[in-house]
Structures are given as C-alpha cells and as structure tokens.
Amino acid sequence: MRHWLLALALVPLLAGCSHWSWNPKDWFASKPEPAPVPVDLLSIQSESANANGERFVQTWEGARLVVDIYSGSGIGKAVVKPREHWPLKLAFRLNLTAVENFEVRGAQNARWNLGHDPLTQPALIDVPYGTYKKDTPQLEIEWVDHYR
C-alpha cells in the first residue's frame, strides 16, 4: 500500500517536470540570445542594375551599427545616408558566397577583396575611422560576389 501512495505522489511531480531536458549537457547550457531588433537609423537606396532579392537590415551589435546586405544577383551598389546623424561605429555584413570586391566611398575611400574562396559565414567589415565624418552627406557602397 505504501508503494502505491508513493507512486501516486510522484506521478504529478514527474508530470510537472516534463518540460525539463533529461540530457545532462542541456542542464547548464546557456540559452540562445534573441535575434537583434532591426532599426532604421540610415536611409539606404539601392542603385543596382538588378535589385531582385536585395535587402538591407540594420541592427545594433553593442555600440556598432551593422548593416546586413543580402543580394540576389551578387552584384550591387547603394547610397547610404544618415536620417539624423551617423553612428559612431558602422559595419557591413555581406551575406554573399565570396567577396570579390567591396568598396565604400565617402570622406575617404576604402576597398576590400576577400579572395575567391567561399565564405563559411557572412563577411563582417568594419568601416575604418575617417571613411565618413559627421558632415559626410552620404556613402556609396558597391559589392561583387565572386560566385555571382
């Protein structure tokens, strides 16, 4: 009789624990961070000949504004303007297969070539200090995917 009472007491307790993971490596694993919230700090206008599948997503990563560039054709260009002011730090994340060329033109010009090897993850390019200043009216950006 005692075993039945113990079993009846344990069933609701174990049923309440059904959302727990029974894998010990999951007990101390950190929870995945939520996706960054998109913002609209910069005005980005595509000037690509073929803008199909092209989009720009702006998010904060710490004190740096990151602009994700998605390009269906692999070749494109855009004009970037501040809505109110430029962020202190700016980066572009190129969601391309391989970056043959990425160029930023503003107060100064900067160019990157990441080779012809396929990327294992998107290329994150920090815009160097001096490429834009607080009075720079716009940045012109261009990109070319090697495997377009």
The pLDDT of 104-124, averaged and rounded, is 94
- Helix, strand, coil percentages (3-state) for the chain, rounded to 5, are 15, 40, 50
pTM of the predicted model over 0.75: yes
Mean pLDDT of the chain: 89
- Domain-wise residue ranges, the chain: 38-145
| The pLDDT of residue 14 | 60
Residue 31: pLDDT over 90? no
Q: Look at residues 92, 46, 51 and name the one whose alpha carbon lies nearest to residue 74.
A: 51
pLDDT band at 94 (very low <50, low <70, confident <90, very high): very high
Right CATH number for 38-145 from 1.10.3470, 2.30.30, 2.60.40, 2.60.120? 2.60.120
